[in-house]
């Protein structure tokens, strides 16, 4: 259930403490935060695919997809790549340090709507961050969904994130297939080599009763969507999460406008049907 | 509905009395231009103005404002909402219909699903005396975008009528309160006054031109994405952002944290931003969704005339003409729209309109 926690001033974040950090790659770390306020700890809920605004005091605020699942409440996990001022500062945090969080914002993946369907997930690189929330949600609510297949592509084996779940937890969950590929590799890599779309040759996807959730770098979308359309996926059953510069997260600053929609309020998850109608979207 | 009349000279007396309770803002002449400025003497206001150079948006959404402060030692956030809102209520005198429509647009942006209290609180504390334009200003095209009329968003609305008087429409309880502040200055409108009011409206309708049709603009813009005009004006545009800064409905903002000199606290500020600036749509990895100047200028048109309709139900242009006056490259918002309609006409265009 989505409980709304009303704040007086929407822009003022709530304080949260870093509980844990797990380095995943050279650039990406998983951070686990807990709200200071006990009430918020208990009542804060969100949908997979929604995002949060994180404040590093004195440096700035930036949007991050929530990578944990609401089915495992208590803390919020964010998988963050070092990219600039705010993210560098986040990477310097130690357990016990305090940040600000506000949200959740955005629409999230339409998990209610796709109940009972088979699900194909295509993730590229750090695009797995929001999708991990959906994957673990589906695993936790297993009987509500059909078969789940994950295609994951990264540039190099050591650039993969959530490796433990990719290798162990997810493949061993019921009704889940996981296929990975890397663009380039060393001798130690025994798996697939090639961009994520090459996995479509290796695994038979039945588009009947299947929806696709995709997230990755902008270049990935066009190629993946082409594969999906060739397999007869319906344009409104291909869901993609878009990324834009954001300042407010609540539809006021216009930074995230794409065509005639706002990524923060109308998205970040759009169907391919919608995306096609948005100028400059992909 | 009770309407009133007030003598033009008595409006100054009203303002004089209001100065005790309100911070009063009015159009003031500065060299060859007019701006909204705070006044302490009614004599300094000049209601006989065409258009102010900048809009009244700055009184509701200032160019820079403090949102909150972070105390690094105590690890506390202090909401600065209350101290960013002026202590006294404000009174704006002489706001034209286009600008009141601009505020009605901002009301939508800053309301809706999420409240923007910085704007809303200022808006609540402001009383507006609107002023009807009976003649067109130099660059404005309000009638083409239906903003020459306004039915809400003001507290009192003045229409000049014969014998140096104003006909007064009351738009809100705040307007009523102004009238009780000076009941001796207002007279109830008689039938003759209503007649005079009607004559003024007639004069207005005769003098304000229609320069293009709004009705097929959405279709036009949907077809015109690849029109060569974007490249043409894109070459002239310097991406200086002046058009957006003077615009009453451009609301984009940036948010920055500034650390105090004592390094003990930082302040989160929001500042006006514009989509014309290079880094507006820049994301990590240096990917810019609108890399070329042309793409950013085109986006301004599409956001205001197309995106806003999706988002807020109305276009984000009041036809005030300020962007036309402000543009150093001589780009006219009106001419571009009119030209696009000519190129993509699905409905008759206005003869002689350019
Ligand atoms: C909905 C959403 C979800 C997201 N989820 C995640 C997530 O789960 N994990 C994650 O890691 N990221 C995520 N992001 C991206 C994340 O928000 C950005 O990486 C972050 O905002 C970068 O902030 P920063 O301060 O670290 O970088 P900035 O300092 O803002 O800079 C980022 C990059 O932009 C360039 N840049 C910035 N300003 C300028 C300028 N003025 N001129 C030239 N170049 C400039 C720089 O090259 C820099 O590398 C998400 C974004 C969105 C919109
Ligand atoms: S004022 Fe003119 S030159 Fe400046 S950004 Fe706007 S259109 Fe371009
Ligand atoms: S776009 Fe130009 S004419 Fe329209 S409201 Fe803004 S400044 Fe006025
Ligand atoms: S982030 Fe401000 S409008 Fe979307």
Q: Does B323 sit in the ligand 3 pocket, CB within 6 Å? A: yes
A58 touching B (Cβ < 8 Å): yes
Cα angle B306-A217-A80, degrees, rounded to a multiple of 5? 105
CB atoms within 10 A of CB B294: 18
Core vs surface per residue B272-286: b (16+ CB within 10 A) or e: bbbbbbeebbbbeee
Question: How many CB atoms lie under 10 A from the CB of residue B133?
Answer: 21
- Subunit contact B117:A8, Cβ cutoff 8 A: yes
Question: Which pLDDT score, from 0 to 100, does residue A53 have?
Answer: 97
Cα dihedral B333, B338, B340, B346 sign? positive
Q: Other CB atoms closer than 10 Å to residue A51's CB: what's the count?
A: 27
- CA–CA separation, A184 and A110 (whole Å): 34
Predicted TM-score (pTM) of the model is 0.90
Q: Bigger pLDDT: B92 or A267? A: B92
Do B102 and B246 touch, CB atoms closer than 8 A? no
Let me know: does B168 contact B156? Beta carbons within 8 Å. yes
Residue A217 to chain B, least CA–CA distance (Å): 10
Tell me how far apart the alpha carbons of residues A34 and A98 are, in angstroms, rounded to a whole number. 10
Instruction: Name the strand (E) or helix (H) holding B325.
Output: helix B322-326
Note whether B125 contacts A: Cβ–Cβ < 8 A.
Answer: no
Asked whether residue A253 carries a pLDDT value surpassing 50, the answer given is: yes
The residue of chain A nearest to residue B223, with distances taken between CA atoms, is A279
* A77: enclosing H helix or E strand: strand A76-81
| Among B residues 184-243, those touching chain A with beta carbons less than 8 Å apart | 225
Measure B234 CA to ligand 2 centroid, in angstroms.
9
Contact (CB, 8 A) for B274 and B290: no
User: Quick check: B5 and B165 in contact, CB under 8 A?
Assistant: yes
CA B287/CA B301 separation, integer angstroms: 22
Q: Is A26 exposed, middle or buried (0-12, 13-18, 19+ CB in 10 A)?
A: exposed
Tokens of B325: 């006056």
Cβ pairs A/B, distance under 8 A: 118
Q: A127 with A215: CB under 8 angstroms?
A: yes
Q: Is A258's C-beta closer than 6 angstroms to any atom of ligand 4?
A: no
DSSP state of A159: G
Any CB–CB contact under 8 A between B307 and chain A?
A: yes
Buried b (16+ CB within 10 A) or exposed e, B34-64: bbbeebeebeebebebbbbebbbbebbbeee
Q: Can you say how many angstroms the Cα of residue B188 is from the centroid of all Cα atoms in its chain?
A: 31
In this predicted structure, what is the pLDDT of residue B67?
A: 94
Q: Report the candidate in A99, A107, A106, A104 with the shortest Cα–Cα distance to residue A7.
A: A104
φ/ψ (deg, to 5) at A131: -70, -30
Judged against a pLDDT cut of 90, whether residue A151 lies above it is answered with: yes
Q: How far apart are CA B136 and CA B208, in angstroms?
A: 5
The kind and range of the H/E element at B11 are helix B8-18
Determine contact: B149 vs chain A, CB below 8 A.
Answer: no
How far is residue A272's CA from residue A62's CA, in Å, rounded to a whole number?
Answer: 26
In this prediction, residue B348 carries a pLDDT of 60
Q: Are A77 and A18 in contact (CB under 8 A)?
A: no
Maximum Cα–Cα distance across chain B:
69
Q: Provide, as residue numbers in chain A, all residues whose Cβ is less than 8 Å from the Cβ of B107.
A: none
Q: Which two tokens stand for residue B46?
A: 């000049």
Pairing of strands B126-131, B90-96: parallel
Separation CA B237–CA B230 (nearest Å): 10
What does the alpha-carbon distance between residue B22 and residue B16 come to, in Å, rounded to a whole number? 10
* Residue A208 DSSP one-character state: T
Q: Which residue has the higher pLDDT, B346 or A260?
A: A260
Nearest to B118 by CA among A244, A11, A275: A11
Tokens read off for B126: 């402001």
Closest CB from A9, A244, A253 relative to B253:
A253
The CA dihedral of A132, A173, A165, A163, to the nearest 10 degrees, is -110
Instruction: State which residue of chain B sits closest to A13, comparing Cα positions.
Output: B77
Query: A250 CA to middle of ligand 4, Å?
Result: 6
Q: What does residue A31 show for φ and ψ, rounded to 5 degrees?
A: -115, 135
Cα distance between residue A270 and residue A138, in whole Å: 19
Taking contacts as CB-CB distances below 8 angstroms, the residues of chain B near A8 are 79, 117
Is residue A15 less than 8 Å (CB to CB) from chain B? yes
Give, rounded to a whole angstrom, the gap between the first and last alpha carbons of chain A. 33
Q: Which of B232, B235, B252 is nearest to B244 (CA)?
A: B252
| Of residues A189, A192, A193, A182, the one with CA closest to residue A160 | A182
User: Are A149 and A177 in contact, with CB atoms under 8 Å apart?
Assistant: yes
Report the relative pairing of strands B282-283 and B4-7 from DSSP bridges. unpaired
> Which protein residue has the closest C-alpha to ligand 3 atom 7?
B247
Omega within 30 of 0 (cis) for the link into A104: yes
A198/A202 Cα distance (integer angstroms): 7
Written as tens digits, the pLDDT of chain B (354 aa) is 689 999 999 999 999 999 999 999 999 999 889 999 999 999 999 988 888 888 889 999 999 999 999 999 888 999 999 888 889 999 999 999 999 999 999 999 999 889 999 999 999 999 999 999 999 988 999 998 899 999 999 999 999 999 899 999 999 999 999 999 899 999 999 999 999 999 999 999 999 888 888 878 888 888 888 889 888 888 898 888 889 999 999 999 999 999 988 889 999 999 988 887 767 777 666 676 777 777 788 888 888 888 888 888 889 999 999 999 999 999 898 888 888 888 887 656 666 544
Chain A residues close to B116, C-beta within 8 Å: 10-11, 252
Q: Is the peptide bond before A136 cis (omega within 30 degrees of 0)?
A: no
Q: Tell which residue, B101, B105, B98, B94, has the closest CA to residue B128.
A: B94
The one-character DSSP state at B190 is: -
Residue A278: band (very low, low, confident or very high) from pLDDT cuts 50, 70, 90: confident
Find where tokens 């929330």 sit.
A133
Interface test with A, best of B71, B249, B255, B259 (most A CBs within 10 A): B255
Is A255–B281 a contact, with Cβ atoms under 8 angstroms apart? yes
Q: List C-alpha distances in Å: A89 to A59, A65, B266.
A: 8, 17, 15
- For residue A262 the two structure tokens come to 């706002």
| pLDDT at residue A102 in the model | 95
């Amino acid at each position: 259930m989505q409980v709304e926690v009303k704040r007086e001033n929407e822009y003022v974040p709530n304080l949260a403490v870093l509980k844990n950090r797990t380095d995943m790659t050279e650039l990406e770390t998983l951070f686990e935060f807990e709200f200071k306020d006990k009430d918020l700890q208990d009542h804060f809920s969100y949908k997979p695919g929604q995002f949060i605004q994180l404040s590093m005091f004195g440096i700035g605020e930036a949007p991050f997809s929530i990578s944990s699942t609401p089915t495992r409440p208590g803390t919020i996990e964010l998988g963050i790549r070092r990219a600039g001022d705010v993210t560098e500062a986040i990477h310097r945090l130690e357990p016990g340090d305090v940040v600000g969080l506000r949200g959740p914002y955005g629409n999230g993946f339409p998990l209610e709507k796709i109940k009972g369907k088979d699900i194909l997930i295509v993730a590229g690189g750090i695009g797995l961050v929001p999708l991990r929330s959906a994957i673990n949600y589906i695993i936790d609510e297993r009987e509500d969904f059909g078969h789940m297949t994950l295609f994951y592509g990264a540039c190099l084996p050591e650039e993969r994130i959530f490796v433990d779940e990719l290798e162990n937890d997810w493949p061993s969950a019921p009704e889940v297939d996981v296929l990975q590929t890397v663009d380039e590799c060393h001798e130690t890599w025994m798996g697939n080599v090639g961009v994520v779309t090459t996995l479509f040759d290796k695994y038979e996807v039945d588009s009947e009763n299947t929806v696709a959730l995709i997230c990755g770098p902008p270049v990935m979308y066009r190629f993946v969507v082409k594969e999906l359309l060739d397999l007869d996926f319906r344009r409104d059953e291909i869901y993609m999460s878009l990324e834009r510069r954001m300042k407010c997260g609540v539809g006021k600053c216009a930074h995230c406008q794409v065509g005639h929609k706002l990524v923060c309020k109308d998205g970040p998850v759009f169907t391919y049907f919608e995306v096609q109608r948005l100028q400059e979207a992909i | 509905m009770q309407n009133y009349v007030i003598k033009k000279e008595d409006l100054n007396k009203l303002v004089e009395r209001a100065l005790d309770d309100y911070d009063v803002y009015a159009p003031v002449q500065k060299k060859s231009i007019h701006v909204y400025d705070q006044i302490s003497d009614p004599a300094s206001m000049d209601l006989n103005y065409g258009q102010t150079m900048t809009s009244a948006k700055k009184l509701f959404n200032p160019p820079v404002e403090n949102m909150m402060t972070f105390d690094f030692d105590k690890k506390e956030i202090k909401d600065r909402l209350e101290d960013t809102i002026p202590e006294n209520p404000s009174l704006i005198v002489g706001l034209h219909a286009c600008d009141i429509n601009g505020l009605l647009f901002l009301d939508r942006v800053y309301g809706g699903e999420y409240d923007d209290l910085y704007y809303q609180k200022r808006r609540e504390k402001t009383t507006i005396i609107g002023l009807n334009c009976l003649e067109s200003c130099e660059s404005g095209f309000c009638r083409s975008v239906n903003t020459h009329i306004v039915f809400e968003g003001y507290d009192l609305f003045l229409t000049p009528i014969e014998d140096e008087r104003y006909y007064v429409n009351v738009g809100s309880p705040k307007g009523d309160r102004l009238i009780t502040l000076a009941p001796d200055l207002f007279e109830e409108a008689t039938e003759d006054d209503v007649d005079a009011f009607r004559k003024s409206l007639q004069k207005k309708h005769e003098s304000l031109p229609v320069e293009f049709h709004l009705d097929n603009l959405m279709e036009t813009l949907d077809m015109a994405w690849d029109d060569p005009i974007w490249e043409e004006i894109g070459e002239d545009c310097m991406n200086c952002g002046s058009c957006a800064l003077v615009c009453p409905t451009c609301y984009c903002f940036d948010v920055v944290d500034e650390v105090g000199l004592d390094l003990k606290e930082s302040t989160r500020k929001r500042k006006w931003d514009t989509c014309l600036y290079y880094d507006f749509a820049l994301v990590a990895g240096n990917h810019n969704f609108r890399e070329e100047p042309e793409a950013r200028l085109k986006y301004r048109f599409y956001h205001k005339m197309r995106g806003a309709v999706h988002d807020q139900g109305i276009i984000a242009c009041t036809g005030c003409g300020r962007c036309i006056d402000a543009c150093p490259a001589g780009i006219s918002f009106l001419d571009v729209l009119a030209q696009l309609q000519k190129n993509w006409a699905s409905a008759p265009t206005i003869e002689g309109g350019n």
